[in-house]
Chain A
Amino acid sequence: MSVVDSPGQSPGARAAARRERVAGWRVGVLASPAAPVYGALIGIVILSWIIVTIDGGNFLTTGNIVNMLQRSVALGIVSLGQTIVILLGSLDLSVAALISLSSLVTAQQMQDGSVVSAIVIVLLMGAGIGLANGLIITKLRVNAFIATLGMALLLGGLIQNGWTGPQGGVTDSFSENLGYTRFGVIPMSFILFAVVAVIIWFVLRHTRFGYRVYAVGGSEDVSKLSGLRTHRTIIVAHVLCSLTAVITGIFLAARLKAGTPTVGSDGGYDLESIAAVVLGGTALTGGRGGVIGTIGGVFILAVLDNVFNQLEFNSFLRDVVRGVIIIAAVAVYARRTEKKA
């Protein structure tokens, strides 16, 4: 018997504690769904570096790193929101349309009023749309896929009805600050992304709401029978997801110095954000995964995008490569889950 162990513990309890310490480590690091994502990210960065260098380009320069970070911001923020709803077993296809609408409304409101009031107004609008999504899914019992697809069409219609082209009015200083300022290699907008990421990570990991998101995503029935009010959780998650889309829209308005009716759909943020989440190891069925994996997934997509640009790939080939990577990633996760079971 070892001396360190307290004498009161039974051998069984000690063994259990030991198993748990090992388990804790395995759960924390190796078995974390995020682990292979960062492995893949490192691999892809190294591979890209080699390929771009051979091609005669520059990969790890300040300019290019800024470029990649900058590119990851828009997709990154909305993917964080998408992570919440996917963890919950839902999803949101209306984010692209909401991004466009937010960029337009931001510009319009800044034209007429202050920056702060404009931001408050779009955030409220986003919260309202998220609330609507959540209510449609829970109270009207419309499948999330259809509910948010319908919302996307609805918002698309509103946009086409209200705007035929870009909407000017974004305040110069605001555009300058959020869109272009940087500290060393870190753009201001990337800090915004990091802050949103930390908040959502914290919410998911340490608040009751976060615990409930995992519970409902694990099984809505189990959650309900355990006395959890699942509808509230689903609604709040959708509100948060819509808010991240709004923040993305505000950032894009700053970056482009205008609101654009097609900025969301051109970026493909609906499907791309889902792809980033899935690439990050979050199960589409919910209950497993998290923010850290999603960030890895976003970086992978941003690096690939950058490499494609440098190598001047045509857009069809890009999509083929991206498609292959996403399918391969999900296949790898499926194998891992099977082995665990």
Chain B
Amino acid sequence: MSDQLLLQMQGIKKSFVGVEVLHGVDLDLRAGEIHAIVGENGAGKSTLMKTLAGVHMPTEGKILINGEEQTFHHPAAAQAAGVGIVYQEFNLLPERNVAENIFIGREPRKGLIVDAKRMERETQALLDEVGEDSFGPRTPVRWLSVAQQQVVEIIKARSLNAKILVLDEPTAALAEGEVELLFKLVRRLQELGVGILYISHRLREVFALSQRITVIKDGGVVKTLNTAETNQRELVNAMVGRELDGYFPEKGLKEDLGDVRLAVKNLTTPLLKDVTFDVRAGEIVGLAGLQGSGRTEIARAIFGADPITSGTVEIDGKERRFKHPRQAIRAGIGFITEDRKAEGLALAQSIRDNMLLAVRTVIPARKRRSMDGLMGVKELARVTELKAQGPEQEVRFLSGGNQQKVVLSKWLETQPNVMIFDEPTRGIDVGAKAGIHDLIRKLAKDGKAVLMISSELPELIGMSDRILVMHEGKLAGELPAGASEPEIMEYATGSHEEVAA
């Protein structure tokens, strides 16, 4: 490892529509170094990398490469300066072949004509360099496995003569054996003098690969550690290290617990392995785990939005298999989705239309008339303490908290017995959060079974009567109310197994 600083990022700040998401981040990278960046979901890791890649312009701060200040107005400028980035979602064109994907936007020419032969030859050389012989330059990308596509991504960055390579969660989609191959490839690049920023929240990988680790939290750097001088526990503490702030409603009492309303047994889908748990009436069960660990997938499988390979879902003791969310709603499940704006609301429609959307579409008018307990818009607004000008106001003009109350009203009107919340307070300010938390607890008290997914550990700990932790599609553990953040993170990062082993 040389001591020459390949990359320096100094005081990087970034705001989106007035909201600052990066608060002055400092980071550096040496040639031939693997520098890991860890942090919880939403800590700002990806945004930081996008400022380096020229996708976002930093609002403030400097980027220096080999000591020279750089300004990237376009990803092409960052590429030219030697920054290569492999994004979490793959950036390949499935309809084009490997060579065409690698040379996209800078195809070599012979006169007017693209020199396809040369493109293929150079691609072959790149493939040889990393020892990849399971496919060739002319193979269409859509025929490749995820791991093979990743190799293409990496050699694409390499072909740009990238001196700085950013890998954003490179192992998220890989199987066990493929991870080893990736490691080999990364170490090979390291030997070639490439500086690598390795983003991951799998601590095992971070310790296996990196020389230094920077912990990012809430848009700022917590600390940068030498890998050899730290351990998993210290890292986990740095990642979550914050006071439990705010107020949470009182937990449920043992006596209030009713029968099992939702029972999931051996639930298996392409993304889930053998998940078993139940939720009782009056109970709030928190579902923790890192992004991609299968939290949302559980909710979608229960709700009939994704197909189930094997296993059963029981609602109030009856086995049900939903082929479509419509059936799940009729059976009494409400699912408050993560992406409020895209999946939960018709933003340009009125509060009234949004509130009645689910009940109108799923339950026939005839049956609705004879249903007891339908609340109507005014009553819903009162119950959820919605603050709005009136039932005809368009939802997009409401604050995040009030929008979420509209989503909640929509589901309350279908009179569910089981309610699943996916990130119920994301993007909602502190004051409104408490209101949503109170509502969720009240629903549980009314005898509903609540399953709550959240990336915010304080929220999960503050709200849940029990916490289930997911890791790579499996239920890694169950913790009682009041578990600590490091305990949860240990299960969520998979480091629990290793510590125990």
Q: Determine the chain A residues whose CB is within 8 A of the CB of B107 once the complex forms.
A: 208, 211
Instruction: Mark contacts of A23-42 with chain B using CB atoms, 8 A cut-off: 1 yes-contact digit, 0 otherwise.
Output: 11001000000000000000
How many residue pairs at the A-B interface have CB separations less than 8 Å? 94
Q: Determine if B140 is an interface residue (Cβ-Cβ < 8 Å).
A: yes
Q: Output the nearest chain B residue to A27 by Cβ-Cβ distance.
A: B140
Known: A23-B140, A214-B95, A225-B91. A208 touches B114 (CB 8 A): yes
CB <8 Å contact, B93 and A219: yes
Interface residues of B in 57-95 (CB under 8 A from A): 74-76, 78-80, 85, 87, 91-95
Q: Which residues of B contact A287 (CB under 8 A)?
A: 93, 95
User: Nearest Cβ in chain B — how far from A337, in angstroms?
Assistant: 10
B142 touches A227 (CB 8 A): no
Asked if residues B104 and A23 are in contact (CB atoms below 8 Å), the reply is no
CB of B135 within 8 A of CB of A211, answer no
With both chains docked as a complex, state the minimum distance between the C-beta of B74 and any C-beta of chain A, in angstroms.
Answer: 7
Chain B interface, >50% SS class:
loop
The contact of A223 among B105, B109, B135, by CB within 8 Å, is B105
Q: Does any Cβ of B come within 8 Å of A207's Cβ?
A: yes
How many of chain B's residues have a CB under 8 angstroms from any CB in A?
36
Interface string of A4-16 (1 = CB under 8 A from B): 0000001011001
Contacts of A288 in B (CB 8 A): 95
A226 within 8 A of B: yes
Task: Kindly state whether residue B113 has any CB partner on chain A within 8 Å.
Answer: yes
Contact of B138 with A24 in the complex, beta carbons under 8 Å? yes
**Most chain B CB neighbours (cut-off 10 Å) among A13, A227, A228:** A227
Contact across chains for B135 and A224 when beta carbons are under 8 A apart: no
Contact with A along B196-217 (1 / 0, CB 8 A): 0000000000000000000000
Cross-chain contact A225 with B87 (CB below 8 angstroms): yes
**A182 an interface residue at 8 Å Cβ cutoff?**
no
> A16-B134, A225-B91 are contacts. A215–B139 as well, Cβ < 8 Å?
no
Per the 8 Å Cβ criterion, residues 204-233 of A in contact with B are: 206-208, 210-212, 214-215, 218-219, 221-229
Task: Kindly provide the distance from the CB of A221 to the nearest chain B CB, expressed in whole angstroms.
Answer: 7
Query: Does B133 belong to the interface (CB within 8 Å)?
Result: yes
Kindly state whether residue A320 has any CB partner on chain B within 8 Å: no
Closest Cβ neighbor of A14 among chain B residues: B133
Determine if B95 and A218 form an interchain contact, defined as CB atoms under 8 angstroms apart.
Answer: yes
**Number of residues on chain A facing chain B (CB within 8 A):** 33
Contacts of A12 on B, CB cut-off 8 Å?
133-134
The interface residues of chain A lying within 8 Å CB-to-CB of B134 are 12, 16
Q: Which residues on the B side are within 8 Å of A229 (C-beta)?
A: 74, 76, 105
Q: Does A20 contact B (CB under 8 A)?
A: yes
Q: Is B55 an interface residue (CB 8 A)?
A: yes
Is A222 a contact of B139 with CB atoms below 8 Å? no
**Does A17 touch B at the CB level, under 8 Å?**
yes
Give the nearest-CB partner of B160 in chain A.
A227
Interface flag for A341 (CB, 8 Å): yes
Residue numbers in A under 8 Å from B104 (CB-CB): 211-212, 215, 222-223, 226, 228
Q: Does A139 count as interface, using CB distance less than 8 angstroms?
A: no
CB contact under 8 A between A227 and B79, given known A20-B138, A211-B107, A218-B95: yes
Complex Cα distance A308/B133, Å?
Answer: 55
Residues of B within 8 A of A225 (CB): 53, 55, 75, 85, 87, 91
Cβ of B100 within 8 Å of any chain A Cβ, yes or no, is: yes
Residue B445 interfacial (CB < 8 Å) = no
Judge if A336 is at the interface, Cβ distance under 8 Å. Answer: no
- Assess the A211–B74 pair: CB atoms within 8 A: no
The reply to whether B93 and A215 contact each other, CB–CB distance below 8 Å, is yes
Within 8 A of A (CB), among B138-180: 138-140, 142-143, 156
A227 touches B75 (CB 8 A): yes
State whether A207 touches B95 (Cβ < 8 A). no
Residue of B whose beta carbon sits closest to that of A17: B136
Contact, CB under 8 Å: B139 / A226? no
Interface pair B136/A227, CB less than 8 Å apart: no
Min CB gap A81→B, angstroms: 20
A214–B94 alpha-carbon span in the complex (Å): 11
Docked CA distance A222–B92 (Å): 7
Give chain B residues whose Cβ lies under 8 Å from the Cβ of A340: 142
| A23 in contact with B114 (CB, 8 Å) | no
A332 to chain B, nearest CB (A): 18
| A19: chain B residues within 8 A (beta carbon) | 135-136, 139
CB closest residue in chain B, given A21: B138
Cβ of B501 < 8 Å from any Cβ of A? no
Q: Give the residues in chain B near A24, CB-CB below 8 Å.
A: 138
Interface membership of B106, Cβ < 8 A:
yes
Residues of chain B with a CB closer than 8 A to A23's CB: 138-140, 143
Q: Tell me, in angstroms, the Cα distance from A165 to B55 when the chains sit together.
A: 53
Q: Considering only CB atoms, which chain B residue lies closest to A16 in the complex?
A: B136
Q: How far is the CA of A216 from the CA of B53 in the complex (A)?
A: 19
Give the distance to chain A from B77, nearest Cβ to Cβ, in Å: 8
Contact with B along A304-341 (1 / 0, CB 8 A): 00000000000000000000000000000000000011
**B112 located at the interface, meaning its Cβ lies under 8 Å from any Cβ of chain A in the complex:** yes
| New A-B contacts (7) at CB < 8 Å, excluding given A225-B55, A225-B87, A229-B105 | A19-B136, A20-B135, A23-B139, A222-B91, A226-B75, A227-B79, A341-B142
A-B contact pairs, 27 of them (CB 8 A): A10-B133, A13-B133, A16-B135, A16-B136, A20-B139, A23-B143, A206-B112, A208-B107, A208-B109, A208-B114, A210-B114, A211-B107, A214-B100, A215-B105, A218-B94, A221-B91, A222-B92, A223-B104, A224-B75, A225-B75, A226-B105, A226-B156, A228-B76, A228-B104, A287-B93, A288-B95, A341-B142
Q: Chain A residues in contact with chain B, CB under 8 A?
A: 10, 12-13, 16-17, 19-20, 23-24, 27, 206-208, 210-212, 214-215, 218-219, 221-229, 287-288, 340-341
* Chain B interface residues toward A at CB < 8 A: 53, 55, 74-76, 78-80, 85, 87, 91-96, 100, 104-107, 109, 112-114, 116, 133-136, 138-140, 142-143, 156
* Minimum-distance CB pairs A-B, first 3: A228-B105, A218-B93, A227-B76
